[in-house]
Amino acid sequence: MSLEEFENFDINAKRKELIAKYAPGLGFSADEIETLYDIVSTLNTILEKNKVREAARDWDHVGVHVKDGNVVLPDNFIKVVDEIVKENQLYSFFLPRDLDGLGFGNLFQGVISETIASHDIALQIMVLISLSVVEALVQYYKPNFEQTLHEFAEGKRLGYVAFTEPNAGSNLEAIKSTSELVGDEYVLNGTKIFISNGGYANTGLFLAQNMVNGKREGTNVFLVDKLDGITTLRVEEKSGLHVSPTSQIQFENVTVPKENIIADVGNGYRKVLERLMGMRIGVSFQGIAAAKRMYQVSLDYAQTREQFDQPIISFPIIRKKLSEMQKTIPRMEEYGYRAAFSLDRYNHGWIPTDVGAGGKPGPEKQAASMVPGAVRGGIAHHYVSSSKLYTSEIVNQMGYDAAQIFGGNGFIAEYEVNKLARDVRVLPVYEGTSEIHDAILTRAERAVQMIPTFKRLYETFPDSTVYERILFERFPEMKKII
Ligand SMILES: Cc1cc2nc3c(=O)[nH]c(=O)nc-3n(C[C@H](O)[C@H](O)[C@H](O)COP(=O)(O)OP(=O)(O)OC[C@H]3O[C@@H](n4cnc5c(N)ncnc54)[C@H](O)[C@@H]3O)c2cc1C
């Protein structure tokens, strides 16, 4: 690849193309797409005005700690969060139209996630996890959730998701936390670990066993909209994402009204698995944002760093690394946008592929009624898991190449490339490990086979990149879908 080809590569061209391709199929008008771009532009203004990329280096250094039971974050980090969430009321766009929102779903969440993560992934986590709670309240809507949704829209609430426990990570059904109905309230008890935003955010989802007469009868998920009875035991020291609180939190006789249950009594975890996949899209777009930054900073460095009296980009082996990155980034976007689109269509009750009727509620529902619910769900899972697995694994390989281009500086913490490589290490772990998504893909493949007109993603790319070849060796299931 020539120097010109690197310089002429428009890193955001694919994004525009994919939004234009998919947004109309979700019923969004040209004006609504324009609104999305306005939001992205406002976010970029806030992020640049606050010099978030530079500040993120300090945040990474200072990190987060617990003082007198409170989670303490850098002041200017909180200021940026407030500006996005309170002053600009970011979550209001994600409320359904009949609750005065704009009905934004995962396709637009992806773009917004990428925009913020491109400045700092930890900031994206702090801001966007709230949408997991909003997603749960919207997907399993009950009138008593309306007030909380409006408070999210007004920026009065920040979200967390408290599922993981010391002995229950990938296998969440092994949780020990309990919920017991006493009168009209559930009493919640248990200790959760690794909770992003835990102890800082005021509104969460809590997963617990459903205890009836001392026996377990399935699992429940609750909306917990206050901090009373919740203690932050510690925040973890991590190899990356230092300013994102990853907390151990204890729930001691926390009471919530029985109406705060999400979906059905005793069926919480299954319902969560079935529908709440938005943050997997968020992680895919963290990966896309990081991959683009890795490419940009490595390209700049390779053009300016000289060895043997020439810029290191003149060495074919360095150019090869950059060209593999450049070739792979649009593929990450193809998978990410396709997954978000498919999930949004599934959430609308439509067929989660482009086999539907083009974003028209009546005909879409009619078309979807011909396909069993399990098959529709399976297809959505297939796209979401393949995108999350592909992006999170590959961005780690890219992080290795990008840091290598920086030589010794790639190992020095103050360089953005070093921070990016450390931060993305967790992408293949949270929101379902790569191994778990590999297993989901095996199951979902059967669902995919049942719609013969289903357009396969791998038709798009006839060849493979070096990153994909490594991925196939490690996760053979992915080879079937690329
Ligand atoms: C920074 C960070 C933030 C997090 N944020 C949150 C949060 O906000 N809320 C929350 O609830 N949790 C959160 N988590 C927890 C995260 O979701 C879990 O760490 C993850 O699900 C894996 O669980 P585990 O760590 O217990 O690993 P384990 O489940 O013990 O897995 C260990 C290894 O075994 C593999 N494995 C497990 N089961 C299988 C299987 N069936 N087949 C093949 N391989 C398998 C895994 O893939 C992994 O490689 C966070 C974690 C981190 C590190």
Ligand 1, atom 2: closest residue by C-alpha: 194
Please determine, for residue 454, whether its predicted confidence score (pLDDT) is greater than 60: no
Give the gyration radius of the chain's Cα atoms: 22
Beta bridge partners of 249: 192, 232
Residue found by looking up tokens 């913490």 in the block? 413
**So where are the chain's domains?**
13-158, 160-265, 277-480
State mean pLDDT over 47-75: 96
Tokens of 339: 């997954």
State mean pLDDT over 191-200: 98
430, 437, 474, 477: which to mutate for ligand 1, most atoms within 8 A of CB? 430
Please give the share of the chain, as a percent, with pLDDT higher than 90. Answer: 83
Ligand 1, atom 17: closest residue by C-alpha: 430
What class is the 160-265 domain? Answer: mainly beta
Ligand 1, atom 16: closest residue by C-alpha: 430
pLDDT in tens, 343-367: 999 999 888 776 667 777 788 888 7
Burial of 387 (0-12, 13-18, 19+ CB in 10 A): buried
Tokens of 152: 């999210």
- CA of 241, closest atom in ligand 1: 1
Tokens of 308: 């043997």
pLDDT band of 7, cuts 50, 70, 90: confident
What class is the 13-158 domain? Answer: mainly alpha
The alpha carbon of 432 and the centre of ligand 1 are apart by a number of angstroms equal to 6
Please determine, for residue 458, whether its predicted confidence score (pLDDT) is greater than 50: no
Residue found by looking up tokens 């020439």 in the block? 310
User: Measured in whole angstroms, how far is the alpha carbon of residue 177 from the centre of its chain?
Assistant: 25
pLDDT band of 186, cuts 50, 70, 90: very high
C-beta atoms surrounding 120 within 10 Å: 26
Q: Is the pTM above the cut of 0.75?
A: yes
Ligand 1, atom 27: closest residue by C-alpha: 169
Report which of 229, 224, 190 is spatially closest to residue 208, judged by C-alpha positions.
Answer: 190
Q: How far apart are CA 242 and CA 233, in angstroms?
A: 17
State mean pLDDT over 295-299: 98
Where is 211: in which H helix or E strand? strand 203-212
The alpha carbon of 436 and the centre of ligand 1 are apart by a number of angstroms equal to 9
Show the DSSP H helices in 349-372 as ranges.
Answer: 361-369
The alpha carbon of 354 and the centre of ligand 1 are apart by a number of angstroms equal to 32
Residue found by looking up tokens 């689109």 in the block? 341
Q: How far apart are CA 42 and CA 117, in angstroms?
A: 15
CATH topology match: 13-158 vs 160-265: no
- CA of 435, closest atom in ligand 1: 47
pLDDT of residue 240: 97
CA distances from 316 to 2, 345, 464 (A): 10, 44, 19
State mean pLDDT over 163-180: 96
173, 192, 194, 236: which to mutate for ligand 1, most atoms within 8 A of CB? 194
Q: How far apart are CA 43 and CA 36, in angstroms?
A: 11
The alpha carbon of 164 and the centre of ligand 1 are apart by a number of angstroms equal to 8
State mean pLDDT over 399-423: 97
Write down the mean pLDDT value for the chain: 93
User: Measured in whole angstroms, how far is the alpha carbon of residue 186 from the centre of its chain?
Assistant: 30
- CA of 207, closest atom in ligand 1: 11
The CATH code of the domain at 277-480 is 1.20.140.10
Give me the amino acid identity at 452: P
- CA of 197, closest atom in ligand 1: 8
196, 433, 437, 475: which to mutate for ligand 1, most atoms within 8 A of CB? 433
Q: How far apart are CA 112 and CA 131, in angstroms?
A: 12
pLDDT in tens, 17-59: 999 999 999 999 999 999 999 999 999 999 999 999 999 999 9
pLDDT of residue 455: 55
The alpha carbon of 384 and the centre of ligand 1 are apart by a number of angstroms equal to 17
